Amino acid sequence: MKFENKTAVITGGSRGIGLAIAKKLASQGANIAILYVGDESEGIAAKEALAEYNTKVEQYFCDVSDFNASKEVVDKVIEEFGGIDILVNNAGITRDKLVLNMDEKDFDAVIGVNLKGTFNMIKHTYKHFMKKRYGRIVSTSSVVGIMGNAGQANYSASKAGIIGMTKSVAKELAGRGVTVNAVAPGYIGTDMTNALSDKVKDAMKAQIPAKRIGTPEDVANVVAFLCSDDAAYVTGEVIKVDGGLAM
Ligand code: NDP
């Protein structure tokens, strides 16, 4: 049980990649705090999906783009769980459009959740990890943060920003036993990508050397490694989980 007596906070842990990460960590003993923004039933469903692992699981309604709300929830988790060992910044949204049609709201919303949300969560756990002289921070970037993608200027910028933030905070916290890494998934089958048309899906699949769409579990396995003590000497790294798409 690699994560016995460890507490992991997972933003966007109610479904998709975040829920797969929650399951993977809980299956190895981690207590889990899930942050979500949608319907309460989603949070409850996630809690039920994790019940079989018999670890402590709580879900918190929290819009990670809200600086004060995310601080309140981080403080609450520290109080209710007795501390935090692992932070997984996974919450993310898309508002895909060509810049021609992208308005200010589309840009601000995506940067607000994906990039500022990641900053907010790191900011509010930073001192806690420093004092503890231990911590694992893993954020979900994307291959489009490395390659760019037409129609995703806002999203790609947010995901590229996560890479810069990851490397900067890794340098700040490396001497304190805190590692800070990112994963860059390619095309993973979740609600986010199910919303794409079949034509777009087929075109994307054709570009993947592994010839299959990734699963949330493919990403969760790599995140779990980065959260483990096996990865103690890995920091400031971005690991692509993309079946070779962006090599
Ligand atoms: P989903 O759309 O399936 O899930 C998104 C999750 O983020 C949900 O749990 C949602 O909560 C949560 N969320 C959204 N906005 C907020 C917010 N303001 N505050 C807190 N939580 C929020 O996405 P995926 O599982 O596909 O994606 C997870 C991450 O992986 C994202 O960061 C995404 O950008 C990234 N990614 C995904 C890829 C893919 O192909 N799927 C590829 C590359 C990166 P709720 O359920 O309450 O709505």
User: pTM for the whole thing?
Assistant: 0.98
175: CA distance to ligand 1 center in Å?
A: 31
* pLDDT at residue 136, as a whole number: 98
Task: Tell me which of 60, 134, 155, 187 is the catalytic residue.
Answer: 155
**Among 35, 44, 93, residue to substitute to test ligand 1 (most atoms within 8 Å of Cβ):** 93
DSSP H/E element including 37: none
Query: What one-character-per-residue DSSP string does 180-218 give?
Result: EEEEEE-SB-SHHHHTS-HHHHHHHHHT-TT-S-B-HHH
Residue nearest to atom 41 of ligand 1 (CA): 188
Residue nearest to atom 33 of ligand 1 (CA): 92
User: Does residue 245 fall inside a structural domain?
Assistant: no
Mean pLDDT of the region 218-238: 98
User: Does residue 82 fall inside a structural domain?
Assistant: yes
Total domains in the chain come to 1
| Domain span holding position 38 | 7-239
Pocket around ligand 1 at a 6 A CB cut-off: 11-12, 14-18, 35-38, 42, 62-65, 90-93, 113, 117, 140, 142, 185, 187-188, 190-193
CATH number at residue 60: 3.40.50.720
* pLDDT at residue 229, as a whole number: 96
The answer to whether the CB of 159 falls within 8 A of the CB of 142 is yes
User: Does residue 50 fall inside a structural domain?
Assistant: yes
Mean pLDDT of the region 200-227: 95
134 part of the active site: no
Distance CA 13, CA 32 (A): 9
Report CA-CA distances (Å) from 215 to 52, 71, 72, 184, 243: 21, 31, 32, 13, 11
Task: Identify the three-state secondary structure at position 227.
Answer: helix
pLDDT tens-digit map of 168-182: 999 999 999 999 999
